[in-house]
């Protein structure tokens, strides 16, 4: 294609990069074994491309550099946010002595004379004191009457009428211990006790604890606001692809994925390949993070770089040494506003989302950094000569059953094959491994749709059983439910 008018050297380099990506997606041969004691030269990244780990660190630094914001929100709106101040109890828990069981409140040794009238129910005012030798019906959570010494569970007591008196007597069916089945005031905490430190994630359990401790609202770090700009004149929002038009896969994918990462998606807009519209959208957005899809390379309608220059943005990351997704970028628009440019190919865009957007959003929301973890890969994985690869994987128990989702036979799915891997008869049964999935080219989503993680493959590839870092996907942690 060297004779095509308007083509530049950078265009031709992009074409070569794309050809390498597509080839890597289709080969399955193992990387050549490295002889023992051999010296392996350090791989070199493409000129100007930021190493993958450095790009993630730069994105996290950008998120932390933004001025912290806080707001006080009702409990029902605080889920998934981070506490901006410690959670200190506003009351004793419980705030009064309560019954831990349905049964009888008793005073002193038995048998006990049953008090006439109704029992004590939860939510009622303080009951009358019990005299020594008296018993009264009590419900779980009800206030313990003054001078009561224990609660006897219903199944551990027998009530019968006293002969000649017409009054009831209560007998214990087993030994009664002082204070049994009574939750004393302040058993869980006292007023002012530190329940959780600032920086804690607000989970459903934290909401329950906060409510029990007397809170109606919490001071939290708000979710980062994200606006998504979908670029490309060739994209359809419905129907079948036709006449060179293709379906937009990223619009439906990005919104829920970003929400699972803790962001508030303020809008998803489709701008086509209009440079002026893109410039207006980027410069007028009030979102903390603008995400664009496509247009990050150097083609005739790739407008992201030109509009960033026009807007006076500062490029923090301009290309990453990772496959797929190397044309991704990170730019500072203003002091506290950023833009992440994702490549237009779907899996390449996912790579950019996990490389740049996720670390920035977690840091901006003051969420704790995810602890990296490693897993052995069941099969050898081909690598790029110079760049990191992100390859969809599924975790299964050790087996040598093929897991390529019909990549060789043409039948089955990645998910079915991954499940079959757990039923195989391989060695070391029961050991969990990450099984690389087929259909992992930059334009493909079939592999990641069956995956529960992405393996970080170093330059040159990985041998079978080699430990690789794994990036979790949101659905493996239940963040979509």
The sign of the CA dihedral 213, 214, 219, 220 is: positive
325 phi and psi angles, rounded to 5 deg: 105, 15
Here the tokens at position 332 are 């500072």
> Cα separation of 56 and 356, whole Å?
6
Helices 275-284 and 304-311, packing angle to 10 deg: 50
Burial of 450 (0-12, 13-18, 19+ CB in 10 A): buried
Q: Which pLDDT score, from 0 to 100, does residue 116 have?
A: 81
| Partners of 457 in the β-ladder | 389
Residue 205, SS3? helix
Burial of 39 (0-12, 13-18, 19+ CB in 10 A): exposed
Q: Which pLDDT score, from 0 to 100, does residue 431 have?
A: 84
> Cα separation of 381 and 415, whole Å?
19
Q: How far is CA 290 from CA 81, 224, 267, in A?
A: 20, 11, 10
> Cα separation of 171 and 271, whole Å?
79
> Cα separation of 79 and 244, whole Å?
43
Here the tokens at position 401 are 């059953």
Q: Quick count: other Cβ atoms within 10 Å of Cβ 392?
A: 27
Q: Which pLDDT score, from 0 to 100, does residue 88 have?
A: 96
Comparing CA positions, the residue from 119, 129, 186 lying closest to residue 152 is: 119
Burial of 198 (0-12, 13-18, 19+ CB in 10 A): middle
Comparing CA positions, the residue from 252, 276, 263 lying closest to residue 445 is: 252
> Cα separation of 311 and 62, whole Å?
19
Determine the distance from the C-alpha atom of residue 162 to the mean position of all C-alpha atoms in its chain, rounded to a whole number: 64
> Cα separation of 355 and 322, whole Å?
9
> Cα separation of 41 and 436, whole Å?
26
Q: Which pLDDT score, from 0 to 100, does residue 476 have?
A: 76
155 secondary structure, DSSP code: G
Q: What is the pTM of this model?
A: 0.75
Q: Which pLDDT score, from 0 to 100, does residue 31 have?
A: 42
Residue 64, SS3? helix
The β-bridge relationship of strands 112-114 and 168-172 is antiparallel
Kindly give the residue spans of alpha helices, DSSP state H, lying in 234-298: 250-260, 275-284
Is the distance from CB of 171 to CB of 153 less than 8 angstroms? no
Q: Which pLDDT score, from 0 to 100, does residue 11 have?
A: 47
> Cα separation of 332 and 335, whole Å?
7
> Cα separation of 269 and 230, whole Å?
6
pLDDT in tens, the chain (481 residues): 333 334 444 444 455 555 545 444 544 444 444 343 333 333 444 457 999 999 999 999 999 998 889 999 999 999 989 999 999 999 999 999 999 999 989 999 989 888 887 788 998 888 888 999 999 999 999 999 999 999 999 999 898 887 666 688 989 999 999 999 999 999 999 999 999 999 999 999 999 999 999 999 999 999 999 999 999 988 888 999 899 998 989 999 999 999 999 899 999 999 998 999 999 999 999 999 999 999 898 888 889 999 999 999 999 999 999 999 999 999 999 999 999 999 999 999 999 999 999 999 999 999 888 888 899 999 999 999 999 999 999 999 865 444 443 333 333 344 344 433 333 333 445 689 999 999 999 999 999 999 999 999 999 999 999 999 999 998 876 555 4
Q: Which pLDDT score, from 0 to 100, does residue 236 have?
A: 84
Q: Which pLDDT score, from 0 to 100, does residue 117 have?
A: 77
Within 13 A of 124's CA, how many CA atoms are on the CB side?
16
């Amino acid at each position: 294609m060297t004779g095509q008018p308007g083509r530049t050297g950078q265009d031709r380099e992009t074409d070569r990069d794309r050809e390498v990506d597509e080839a890597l997606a289709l080969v399955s041969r193992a990387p050549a074994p490295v002889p023992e004691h051999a010296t392996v030269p350090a791989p070199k990244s493409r000129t100007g491309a930021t190493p993958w780990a450095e790009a993630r660190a730069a994105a996290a630094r950008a998120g932390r550099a933004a001025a912290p914001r806080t707001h006080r929100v009702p409990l029902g709106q605080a889920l998934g946010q981070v506490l901006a101040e410690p959670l200190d109890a506003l009351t004793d828990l419980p705030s009064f002595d309560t019954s831990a069981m349905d049964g009888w409140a008793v005073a002193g040794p038995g048998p006990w004379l049953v008090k006439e009238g109704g029992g004590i129910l939860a939510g009622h005012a303080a009951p009358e004191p019990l005299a020594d030798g008296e018993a009264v019906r009590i419900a779980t959570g009800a206030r313990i009457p003054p001078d009561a010494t224990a609660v006897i569970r219903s199944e551990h007591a027998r009530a019968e009428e006293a002969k000649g008196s017409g009054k009831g007597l209560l007998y214990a069916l087993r030994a009664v211990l002082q204070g049994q089945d009574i939750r004393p005031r302040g058993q869980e905490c006292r007023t002012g006790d530190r329940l959780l430190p600032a920086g804690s994630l607000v989970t459903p359990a934290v909401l329950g604890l906060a409510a029990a401790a007397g809170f109606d609202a919490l001071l939290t770090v708000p979710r980062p606001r994200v606006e998504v700009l979908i670029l490309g004149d060739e994209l359809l929002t419905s129907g079948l692809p036709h006449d060179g038009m293709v379906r937009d896969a990223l619009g439906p994918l990005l919104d829920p994925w970003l929400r699972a990462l803790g962001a508030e998606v303020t809008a998803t807009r489709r701008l086509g390949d209009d440079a002026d519209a893109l410039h207006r959208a980027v410069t007028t957005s009030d979102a903390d993070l603008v995400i664009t899809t496509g247009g990050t390379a150097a083609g005739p309608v790739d407008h992201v770089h030109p509009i960033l220059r026009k807007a006076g943005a500062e490029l923090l990351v301009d290309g990453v040494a990772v496959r797929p997704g190397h044309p991704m970028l990170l730019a500072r628009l203003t002091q506290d506003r950023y833009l992440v440019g994702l490549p237009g190919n779907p899996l390449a865009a996912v790579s950019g989302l996990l490389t740049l957007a996720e670390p920035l959003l977690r840091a901006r929301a003051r969420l704790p950094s995810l602890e990296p973890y490693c897993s052995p890969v069941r099969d050898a994985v081909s690598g790029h000569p110079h760049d990191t690869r992100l390859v969809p994987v599924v975790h299964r128990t050790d087996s040598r059953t093929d897991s390529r989702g019909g990549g060789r036979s043409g039948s089955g799915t990645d998910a079915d094959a991954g499940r079959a891997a757990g039923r195989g008869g391989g060695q070391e049964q029961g050991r969990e491994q990450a099984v690389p999935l087929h259909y992992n080219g930059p334009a493909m989503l079939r592999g990641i749709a069956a995956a529960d993680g992405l393996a970080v493959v170093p330059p040159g590839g990985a041998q079978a059983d080699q430990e690789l870092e794994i990036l979790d996907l949101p659905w493996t942690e239940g963040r979509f439910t």
